[in-house]
Chain A
Amino acid sequence: MDIPRYWRLKDQRYKLQGTKCNGCGHLSFPPRLVCPECKSRDYSDYRFKGRGTLYTYTIIYQAPDRFDDQAPYLVGLIDLEEGVRVTAQLTDMTLEEARIGMPLEMVIRQIYEDGARGPILYGFKFRPPFNRENR
Chain B
Amino acid sequence: MRKVAIVGIGQTPVREHWQSNLRDLAVSALRDAMDDAGVETLDGVTVGNMLSGALSEQEHLGSLIVDYAGLDGVEGMKIEAACGSGGAAIRMAVKAVASGLMDTVGVVAVEKLTEYSGNHSTAALATAADADYETNMGLSFVGINALLMRRYMYEYKYDKRDFAVFPVNAHMNALHNPNAMFHFPIDTDTYASSKPVADPVSLLDASPIADGAAAVIVVAEEMVDRFKGKPISILACEVGTDTLALDNRKNPLWLRGVERSVKKAYYIAGVKPSDISLFEAHDAFSIMSALSLEASGFAEAGQGLRFAAETGVGIKGGLPMSTMGGLKGRGHPVGATGVYQVVEAIMQLRREVPAEIQVPDIKYAMTQNIGGSGATVITSILKCLNS
Residues on A lying within 8 angstroms of B by beta carbon are 5, 9, 12, 30, 55-68, 70, 73, 75-77, 85-89, 100, 111-112, 123
A88 contacts which chain B residues (CB < 8 A)?
137
A58 contacts which chain B residues (CB < 8 A)?
143, 146-147, 150, 198-201
A60, B140: Cα distance in complex, Å: 8
Interface pairs (18), CB distance under 8 Å: A12-B133, A56-B148, A56-B151, A58-B143, A58-B199, A58-B200, A60-B139, A61-B198, A64-B119, A65-B119, A68-B119, A75-B137, A75-B143, A86-B247, A100-B150, A111-B138, A112-B138, A123-B137
Known: A9-B132, A61-B198, A64-B126. A111 touches B137 (CB 8 A): yes
A-contact 0/1 string along B23-44, CB 8 Å cutoff? 0000000000000000000000
Residue of A30, A62, A86, A111 with most chain B CB atoms under a 10 A cut-off? A62
| B143 engages A60 (CB within 8 Å) | yes
A121 to chain B, nearest CB (A): 8
B122 to chain A, nearest CB (A): 5
A5 contacts which chain B residues (CB < 8 A)?
132
B201 contacts which chain A residues (CB < 8 A)?
58
B146 contacts which chain A residues (CB < 8 A)?
58-59
A56 contacts which chain B residues (CB < 8 A)?
147-148, 150-151, 154, 252
B243 to chain A, nearest CB (A): 8
Is B64 among interface residues, defined by CB-CB distance under 8 A?
Answer: no
B120 contacts which chain A residues (CB < 8 A)?
65
A65 contacts which chain B residues (CB < 8 A)?
119-120, 122-123
What total of chain B residues lie within 8 Å of the partner, measured CB to CB?
Answer: 35
A86 contacts which chain B residues (CB < 8 A)?
133, 247
A13 to chain B, nearest CB (A): 9
A79 to chain B, nearest CB (A): 9
Instruction: Known A-B contacts: A60-B143, A77-B147. Give 17 more (CB < 8 A).
Output: A30-B133, A56-B147, A56-B154, A57-B147, A60-B139, A60-B140, A62-B140, A64-B122, A65-B119, A70-B138, A73-B138, A77-B252, A87-B133, A87-B137, A88-B137, A89-B138, A100-B151
| A85 engages B247 (CB within 8 Å) | yes
Q: Which residue of B198, B247, B248 contacts A60 across the interface (Cβ within 8 Å)? A: B198
B195 contacts which chain A residues (CB < 8 A)?
61
A63 contacts which chain B residues (CB < 8 A)?
119, 122, 138, 140
A64 contacts which chain B residues (CB < 8 A)?
119, 122-123, 126, 135, 138, 140
A18 to chain B, nearest CB (A): 11
Residue of A56, A57, A60 with most chain B CB atoms under a 10 A cut-off? A56
Which B residues from 93 to 149 make CB contacts under 8 A with A? 118-120, 122-123, 126, 132-140, 142-143, 146-148
Q: Which residue of A57, A87, A111 contacts B245 across the interface (Cβ within 8 Å)? A: A87
A50 to chain B, nearest CB (A): 15
| A87 engages B134 (CB within 8 Å) | yes
Which B residues from 182 to 214 make CB contacts under 8 A with A? 195-201
A77, B152: Cα distance in complex, Å: 14
| B140 engages A100 (CB within 8 Å) | no
A76, B138: Cα distance in complex, Å: 10
A70 contacts which chain B residues (CB < 8 A)?
138
B139 contacts which chain A residues (CB < 8 A)?
60, 75, 87
A13, closest chain B residue (CB): B136
A123, B135: Cα distance in complex, Å: 13
Q: Which residue of A61, A68, A100 contacts B197 across the interface (Cβ within 8 Å)? A: A61
A86, B132: Cα distance in complex, Å: 12
Known: A55-B151, A100-B150, A100-B154. A62 touches B142 (CB 8 A): yes
B113 to chain A, nearest CB (A): 14
Is B319 among interface residues, defined by CB-CB distance under 8 A?
Answer: no
B247 contacts which chain A residues (CB < 8 A)?
77, 85-87
A112 contacts which chain B residues (CB < 8 A)?
138
A9, B122: Cα distance in complex, Å: 24
A85 contacts which chain B residues (CB < 8 A)?
247-248
| B199 engages A59 (CB within 8 Å) | yes
A77 to chain B, nearest CB (A): 5
A115, B140: Cα distance in complex, Å: 20
Is B90 among interface residues, defined by CB-CB distance under 8 A?
Answer: no
Is B246 among interface residues, defined by CB-CB distance under 8 A?
Answer: yes
A134 to chain B, nearest CB (A): 22
| B138 engages A59 (CB within 8 Å) | no
Which B residues from 143 to 186 make CB contacts under 8 A with A? 143, 146-148, 150-151, 154
B150 contacts which chain A residues (CB < 8 A)?
56-58, 100
